[in-house]
Structure 1
Amino acid sequence: MYKYIKSALDRVCAALGLIVLAIPLLLIALAIRCESRGKAIFKQVRTGLNGKEFYVYKFRTMWRTDVPFDKDNPVIEDDNAELTPAGKILRKLKIDEFPQLINVLRGEMSLIGPRPFMPVYYEQYANWEKERLSVKPGMSGLAQVSGNGYLTSEERSYYDIYYARHLSFFTDVKIMFKTVGVLLLGEKKFLKPVSVADMEKMKGGESADKAA
């Protein structure tokens, strides 16, 4: 039942969020433009629900936007030379993701769901990993509150697929609260490596025992 009303709830929350945050978001965009040349918001092609491609929006946090993405190491370190001073702060607080409220409002994303990757990385997935595309991508997800950058690529896929198979309102609420915890305490505090047994079950199409 929840999956049928999730999209409507997402859009209502996204609309309210954009209204409430309108002035802060405009000030952030202005600060980015004043600090460095280029657009404050950039868009990038990502793979969404059922493999459909769409443009995801983010605040620009780097001097350039064509930095290669590493599927196995998706988290850009704070000392990366490509990050602008303001960009380091925006990334640390995850504020660079806020423009994706537009994607949620348009129905391309959800507030909670697997993070969307570029199409080139979707093509590298094993067949079992593609199940993560059975739900809309999200601004935050189970993998992001289970260690994210400290997880392997397969572990992130595990959590994404576990979420897709156990989608519920209470799971989404739990992830929202954990997202706040990650912002305050850091990803490592919430690290939960996946056991070999659970990983093998997931790859075999079985229901794994537990997630976060």
Structure 2
Amino acid sequence: MTKRWFDLVAALLGLLFTAPLMLVAAVAIAVTMGRPVLFRQERIGRGDRPFVVAKFRTMRAGTGDDADRLTVVGRWLRATSIDELPQLWNVVRGEMSLVGPRPLLPQYVDRYSARQRLRHDVRPGITGLAQISGRNGIDWETRLELDVQYVESCSWRRDLAILGVTVKTVLTADGVTSADHATMTEFAGSNARSTPASTDTAA
């Protein structure tokens, strides 16, 4: 079975078994934050192709500090990674894989070094090597280097190991956010200082 077929079968089964949980999440968001219940944003995938990724909303609409807009329900969704479940549809559509570098914002592409751009040689994933190594709790340089290391040595064995560790990481909510922000700071480019992101862009 190829990686694509494994992704497709696993994503369809995942959608089937998590449907009740996603329904509960959607209702909780609608009650506490109103509509829409999904947050959609353009990201960059394999071969630098853009696509729209979907997540459950975790923050109230408006401006202001991300930590202030992050709701109790939203914090729980992030801690359990339930907010990422809608991305199983991205996997079904072939835009994402279960395992791979997380899809990031279009404006980051021109900020990557030549080595960092190798992360777009494979489909982006719902989880990846960087996510099991600290999720949003590690700095950008380390995170992007882990993405490239995955691309250079991806295999069935490694994917299964990453999926296994992902379950443990989710259960412990390890590294859900970076030290001082509700979301990951914005990537300003290699050797540049990153600044806090102003939108719901936690990857």
Q: TM-score, normalised by structure 2?
A: 0.81
User: Are residue 11 (structure 1) and residue 8 (structure 2) matched?
Assistant: yes
Q: Aligned to 2:43, what secondary structure does the other structure show? A: strand
Distance 1:65 1:118, change over 3 A: farther
Distance 1:81 1:126, change over 3 A: same
In the TM superposition, what is the alpha-carbon distance from 1:149 to its structure 2 partner?
2.6
Radius of gyration: which is bigger? 1
Task: Tell me how far apart the structure 2 counterparts of residues 67 and 112 of structure 1 sit (CA, whole Å).
Answer: 33
For structure 2, which runs of at least 5 residues remain unmatched after alignment?
176-203
Q: Which residue pairs with 1:138 in the alignment?
A: 125
Q: Which residue pairs with 1:45 in the alignment?
A: 42
Q: Which deviates more, 140-149 or 43-52?
A: 140-149
Is the CA contact 2:80–2:173 (under 8 Å) kept in the aligned structure 1? no
Task: Tell me how far apart the structure 2 counterparts of residues 9 and 66 of structure 1 sit (CA, whole Å).
Answer: 41
Q: Which residue pairs with 2:83 in the alignment?
A: 96
In the TM superposition, what is the alpha-carbon distance from 1:67 to its structure 2 partner?
8.0
Q: Which residue pairs with 1:158 in the alignment?
A: 145
User: 1:8-157 maps to which residues of 2 (within 5 A)?
Assistant: 8-64=5-61, 80-157=67-144
Task: Tell me how far apart the structure 1 counterparts of residues 147 and 87 of structure 2 sit (CA, whole Å).
Answer: 19
1:118-138 superposed Cα distances (whole Å, 9 cap, x missing partner): 101122111210000001000
In the TM superposition, what is the alpha-carbon distance from 1:108 to its structure 2 partner?
0.3
Q: TM-score, normalised by structure 1?
A: 0.78
In the TM superposition, what is the alpha-carbon distance from 1:66 to its structure 2 partner?
7.7
CA RMSD of aligned residues (A): 1.9
Q: Aligned to 2:132, what secondary structure does the other structure show? A: coil
Distance 1:49 1:138, change over 3 A: same
Q: Aligned pair count? A: 175
For structure 1, which runs of at least 5 residues remain unmatched after alignment?
69-75, 189-212
Distance 1:180 1:170, change over 3 A: same
Percent identity over the alignment is: 39
Task: Tell me how far apart the structure 2 counterparts of residues 177 and 104 of structure 1 sit (CA, whole Å).
Answer: 18
In the TM superposition, what is the alpha-carbon distance from 1:93 to its structure 2 partner?
0.7
Q: Aligned to 1:127, what secondary structure does the other structure show? A: coil
